[in-house]
A = this chain, B = another copy of it.
Amino acid sequence: MNKVYLPPSRIGVIGGGQLGRMLAFEAKRMGYEVFVLDPKENSPAGQVSDFQFVASFDDFEALLSLAQKTDIITYEFEHINVEHLLRLKEMGYKIYPSPETLKIIQNKYLQREYLKRLGLPVPKFKRVESFEDLIIKAGQFSFPLMLKHARGGYDGKGNILIKGQKDLEEFKNFDFKREIFIEEYINFKKEISIILCRNLDGDLKFYLPFENYHEDSILKITKCPADIKEDVKKEAINIAKAVLEGFDDVGVFCIEMFLDYDDRIYINEIAPRVHNSGHLTIEAFVSSQFENHLRSIANLPLGSTELLKRAAMINILGDRKLTGKYTIEGFKDLLKMDGIYVHLYGKDFVDNKKKIGHVTVIGETDEEINEKIEFVKNNLKIGEFNG
């Protein structure tokens, strides 16, 4: 029998951003205590948690304190020193998803290798160790192709599109020690994501595929359910399940996939955590990804992933440098329409392209959802806050 963590057990969350914040809302609602670790004081998650350790994610002593003070540790982003987590796990602390899984996922090249070994569909890819190597390997692909950093990228950072032979010349003085690989460019018609969860007892549940729209490589809109054929949906779900079962791990995972014009599926990226494309599960599904992540890591029965209403999520991104407090100028107009939920993350300044909130809309038909998306886009405007 695997241990069940009942409230008021204490959940430790590495990372104090919006994902941690929404996780904290659900954890507190269910009666758990929440301790957060983030270098930024009064972080979005810290504001609504019982305690925040203000420390760097690289600070082993701080991570150890978090572990000592809590019953289970989880995280809301991937860029954590995984060696520290492995050490904590060796010391007997509970960390979900496992550091071993995180270690694979953190490195996009290892992640691709891993998925390939499982027989799952990924774009064709090859490690590149030098400029000469790049020229040779690129010759085995057709243009355009992607050059990717194995580590450290998110929101498309670290990915470079190579359109043709002459783009390659630009990499003559490139630092190939940084773990680089090239990859077939997938001309996709859709990007979908599947969020699923698994608890220690091995129960697994998944949400219907979501459809994602990016702008400048940052997620802008998610719609649910995705408009894809029934057999593609089934295949995508089977792939997502195979990923999570492959890891034999615990928690919420998000599997992002490309769908090309022949309806072929390619896994794009895996996130071993609650995900931006799953925000709409708060309003649109019986149990949210945040509740199900908690249920997974506490080894409780998983909550229903039944759809209640069609929904879409629109990210609110900072569009200029603003120091000091800001507000949503169109807030009042926005709330004139029914079935609109504004989430602001309590961040105290707006950076360019930083996610500062999101809006979820619910509705009956795809048409209604599209109208509401337009309404939100037309009314959202970030302005200065004048008390």
A interface residues with partner B (beta carbon < 8 Å):
4, 6-9, 21, 24-25, 28-31, 33, 47-50, 71, 286, 295, 300-301, 303-304, 306, 308-309, 325, 327-328, 331-332, 335-336, 338-339, 341-346, 357, 362, 385, 387
Distance in angstroms from A132 CB to nearest chain B CB is 53
Once the chains are docked, how many angstroms separate the CA of A209 from the CA of B357?
34
Distance in angstroms from A305 CB to nearest chain B CB is 9
A29 touches which one: B4, B25, B303, B325 (CB < 8 A)?
Answer: B25
Are the CB atoms of A29 and B300 closer together than 8 Å? no
Are the CB atoms of A300 and B47 closer together than 8 Å? no
Are the CB atoms of B4 and A300 closer together than 8 Å? no
Q: Which partner residue on chain B sits nearest A337 by CB separation?
A: B301
A30 touches which one: B28, B332, B342, B387 (CB < 8 A)?
Answer: B342
Chain B residues within 8 Å of A6, by CB: 327-328, 331-332, 385
Given contacts A31-B345, A71-B387, A286-B338, 11 further A-B contacts (CB under 8 A): A7-B327, A7-B328, A8-B327, A25-B28, A25-B29, A25-B48, A30-B342, A286-B362, A295-B335, A304-B339, A306-B338
A332 touches which one: B4, B50, B339, B385 (CB < 8 A)?
Answer: B4
State how many copies of this chain the complex holds.
Answer: 2
Are the CB atoms of B344 and A30 closer together than 8 Å? yes
A300 touches which one: B24, B71, B332 (CB < 8 A)?
Answer: B332
Are the CB atoms of A286 and B7 closer together than 8 Å? no
Are the CB atoms of A301 and B335 closer together than 8 Å? yes
Q: Which partner residue on chain B sits nearest A299 by CB separation?
A: B332
Are the CB atoms of B9 and A331 closer together than 8 Å? no
Chain B residues within 8 Å of A341, by CB: 29
User: Can you give 27 contacting A-B residue pairs, CB < 8 Å?
Assistant: A6-B327, A6-B385, A7-B331, A8-B325, A8-B346, A8-B385, A9-B387, A25-B29, A25-B48, A28-B47, A28-B346, A29-B341, A29-B343, A30-B343, A30-B344, A31-B344, A31-B345, A31-B357, A33-B346, A71-B387, A286-B362, A300-B332, A300-B335, A301-B332, A301-B336, A304-B338, A306-B338
A309 touches which one: B21, B30, B308 (CB < 8 A)?
Answer: B308
Distance in angstroms from A339 CB to nearest chain B CB is 5
Distance in angstroms from A130 CB to nearest chain B CB is 49
Are the CB atoms of B385 and A344 closer together than 8 Å? no
**Given A8-B344, A327-B6, A332-B6, A308 and B308 contact (CB-CB distance below 8 Å):** yes
Once the chains are docked, how many angstroms separate the CA of A271 from the CA of B31?
26
Once the chains are docked, how many angstroms separate the CA of A303 from the CA of B337?
8
Once the chains are docked, how many angstroms separate the CA of A343 from the CA of B332?
30
Once the chains are docked, how many angstroms separate the CA of A25 from the CA of B343?
11
Q: Which partner residue on chain B sits nearest A383 by CB separation?
A: B6
Distance in angstroms from A93 CB to nearest chain B CB is 14
Chain B residues within 8 Å of A308, by CB: 308-309
Once the chains are docked, how many angstroms separate the CA of A372 from the CA of B371?
37
Chain B residues within 8 Å of A332, by CB: 4, 6, 300-301
Once the chains are docked, how many angstroms separate the CA of A98 from the CA of B124?
67
Once the chains are docked, how many angstroms separate the CA of A186 from the CA of B387?
49
A338 touches which one: B28, B48, B303 (CB < 8 A)?
Answer: B303
Q: Which partner residue on chain B sits nearest A327 by CB separation?
A: B6
Distance in angstroms from A303 CB to nearest chain B CB is 7
Distance in angstroms from A354 CB to nearest chain B CB is 14
Chain B residues within 8 Å of A343, by CB: 29-31
Distance in angstroms from A206 CB to nearest chain B CB is 15
Distance in angstroms from A372 CB to nearest chain B CB is 12
